[in-house]
Amino acid sequence: MTLPQEAIIRSLPVFDDLRAFLGWLEAKGELLRLSEPVKLCHEMTAVQVAALRAGGPALRFDAAMQTDGTRAAMPVVANLFGTPGRVAAGLGLTRDQIDEFGAFLASLRSPAPVDGMRDALSRWPMLKAALLTRPQIVRRAAVQQVTAPLDLTRIPVQTPWPEDAGPLITWSVAVTRPYGSEAAQVARYNLGVYRAQVLGPDRLILRWLAHRGGAAHARTWARAGEPMPVAIALGADPATLLGAALPLPETVSEIVFSGVLRGARSELVAAKTVPLLVPANAEIILEGWVHPDDTAPEGPFGDHTGYYNSVDRFPVMRISAITHRRDPLYLTTITGRPPDEPSVIGEVFNDLALPVIRAQIPEVRDLWLPPAACSYRIAVVAIDKRYPGQARRVMMALWGMLAQFSYTKMVIVVDSDIDARNWDDIAWALATRMDPVRDVMMIDSTPMDYLDFASPREGLAGKIGIDATTKIGAETTREWGKVMALTPQDEAFAAALLARHLPVRP
């Protein structure tokens, strides 16, 4: 497949850092500066939630207040990706270019064979994208302008919800590598967005689940009996933030991939006290070590499910250095019952991932992960159905294809004439094309997010697949009904007639 060059041409400037993105947002009227005092404890959460639900701008709190009543030493930025348009902008795209960019990313994963010189030249956009994945190592970096005291309490970290255990860093981009790798081998790095509970001036708890890249790297260091170097970038550029949140294959490094997203090579600099390369243009870098078996009880904290999670033990990071810009900004977010910022990001990632899914399951026409269902617990799939049993094959393919679908506990499959993103259409398909005995598939004891309190056992739960497609062949012994529809000509006639006689609605 030869993709049009415009599929990867950015409509927007390259955002080298968070400040460049904020400046662009402010010029567009998409950044609100708040000079009124706002408490880091709970008040800031209320403002973020209200702004996001109103489709409001990114927020900059210039008078964030600590729990002791003092003003924070730096401004706080929130609701950065609070609308799908701003998520797309973070990738340098408009909202309507996401589908094309997703198709381009799918082609990078499985490029078609080159057919002659003309075809080879048409692939230049792909070659350019591949070159952009090579990071540039710099000797001096803005994020190392100041080496700060080892005191995390100087950073204005929110305590988001009333029953939270304490201050929680939420937009932390953790940089790790496996044991046996070298600091220069950035292709083996992992970037992960993990929340981090502040335990004291120089200690954090890193909440990474067992299937995440950071946890996998930690196991390699623990088996060797060695402490693992970790760096946390706070306030990274949009491409690094979104690249760290993307559900990429385990073999793809987020640092490497962020060059494609950014449209420019990543700039990295050697950390001061740990053998890692870190984002040179971030606002703040926390450096430190995770020692084997050094854990602490984390939580409770409000989570994306809309519930407080239970307390569990996670690794402790001992801080060895804090560096930042001369006038740093602190980036934060909150998670809660959708809509929240992660669910907005998930909405865009849904469209970005669709071409990759189609490449693996060609009959898929659309796939929707309803944000209200915590962005991944329920999937609705529209397919071009051609043979009996096809809906069940699609269910099993989804559950087994990508790691994030292992936590999807309900898959509803509908025909391509159904709008998979419209609950009314979905309800009609369920009511008229699904029999509860014949068309429901149940699976027991499958992996599940341990935060799912509905699961009978922690980490294990059932899955349900519902076939709400038209039944064909051996799937039924009855003649299927015919869907009623007016002709396009009659609908056009009615629209024109009413347009002449009814007032125009504003």
108 token code pair = 């990078």
Predicted local distance difference test score (pLDDT) of residue 9: 59
Gap between the Cα atoms of 412 and 470, Å rounded: 13
What's the start-to-end Cα distance of the chain, in Å? 44
Higher-confidence residue of 310 and 368: namely 368
* CATH code that applies to domain 5-331: 2.30.110.10
If you average pLDDT over each of 8-22, 101-115, 483-497, which comes out highest? 483-497
pLDDT of residue 401: 73
List residues with catalytic annotation: 303
Give CA–CA dist 375/343, Å, rounded.
Answer: 6
Q: What is the pLDDT of residues 300-336, one digit of tens each?
A: 999 988 899 889 999 999 999 999 999 999 999 999 9
Which pLDDT belongs to residue 114?
Answer: 46
132: pLDDT confidence band, cut at 50, 70 and 90? low
| 3 state SS of 213 | helix
Helical pair 341-360 and 390-401, crossing angle rounded to 10 deg:
120
| pLDDT (mean) for 493-505 | 88
DSSP 302: B
421-471, pLDDT tens digit by residue? 999 999 999 999 999 999 999 999 888 877 777 888 887 889 999 999 999
Q: Which residue, among 235, 232, 319, has the nearest Cα to 276 in the 3D structure?
A: 232
User: Using 50, 70 and 90 to split pLDDT, how confident is the model at 120?
Assistant: very low
**What is the DSSP annotation of 139-172?**
S--GGGSEEE-S-GGGS---B-STT-SS-EE-S-
With H, G, I as helix, E, B as strand and everything else as coil, classify residue 95.
helix
Return the pLDDT at 110: 59
DSSP string, 249-292: -TTS-HHHHHHHHHTS--EEEE-SSSS-EEETT-SEEEEEEEEE
Q: Indicate the pairing of strand 410-415 with strand 460-468.
A: parallel
Structure confidence at residue 128 as a pLDDT band (50, 70, 90): low
Task: Output the pLDDT for position 8.
Answer: 52
**What pLDDT does residue 143 have?**
98
Share of the chain above pLDDT 90, in %: 67
List the domain boundaries for the chain.
5-331, 361-475
What H or E segment, with its residue span, contains residue 137? Answer: strand 136-138
CATH class of 361-475: alpha beta
Mean pLDDT on 380-387: 96
Three-state SS for 328-393 is CCEECCCCCCCCCHHHHHHHHHHHHHHHHHHHHCCCEEEEECCHHHCCCCEEEEEECCCCCCHHHH
Mean pLDDT, rounded, for 258-264? 78
pTM above 0.85?
A: yes
List pLDDT tens digits, range 167-215.
Answer: 999 999 999 999 999 999 998 999 999 999 999 999 999 999 887 889 9
> What pLDDT is recorded for position 315?
97
What is the average pLDDT score of the chain? 89
What residues are paired with 302 via a beta bridge?
308
Is 172 within 8 Å of 196 (Cβ atoms)? yes
Instruction: Lowest mean pLDDT of 38-47, 157-166, 244-253, name the range.
Output: 244-253
Q: Chain centroid to CA 24: how far?
A: 22
Chain centroid to CA 89: how far? 15
Q: How confident is the model at residue 505 (pLDDT cuts 50, 70, 90)?
A: low
How do strand 364-368 and strand 378-383 relate by DSSP bridges?
antiparallel
Residue 506 has pLDDT above 50, yes or no: yes
